[in-house]
Amino acid sequence: MRKILLIVAVLLTLISILFSILPLDTLALAPIGLALLFIFFAFKKSDVKQRKLTKLLFIITYICALYVLGKTYLIKDKVTVDTKFEQEKVDSKKEDLKDLEGLE
């Protein structure tokens, strides 16, 4: 039973790392929560000498959780107006009108 819990915990930890790197915001918290749950059960099933892997998985998963929460709540997305592009659109319209007038 311990091996199955460890395998599932490792897979969920890898998925948590992947989801926390991708721009999925709080969706990454679902595999992180499941990973923590399975890691906890594996930790309880392990002997004192066998707990090194589960401790490492706990640390990795907590770092992923902190990264996702920090990325979600501390980094703000800013939308800026590109005035250069807007000016190019206006200039392009003027040139197109001149070209159409030249054809007539």
Q: Could you state, in order of their start, the residue ranges of all structural domains in the chain?
A: 2-77
Classify 29 as helix, strand or coil: helix
Max CA separation in the chain (angstroms):
89
Residue-wise pLDDT for 56-104, tens only, equals 999 999 999 999 999 988 888 788 888 888 889 889 988 888 888 877 6
Q: Contact 67/31 with Cβ under 8 angstroms?
A: no
- Is the whole model's pTM more than 0.85, yes or no? no
**Residue (of 16, 29, 27) closest to 60 by Cα position:** 16
pLDDT at 11: 96
| pLDDT score for 99 | 83
pLDDT tens figures, 22-53: 988 889 999 999 999 999 999 999 888 888 99
Q: What is the pLDDT of residues 82-91, one digit of tens each?
A: 888 888 988 9
User: How far is it, in rounded angstroms, from Cα 29 to Cα 37?
Assistant: 12
pLDDT value of residue 81: 80
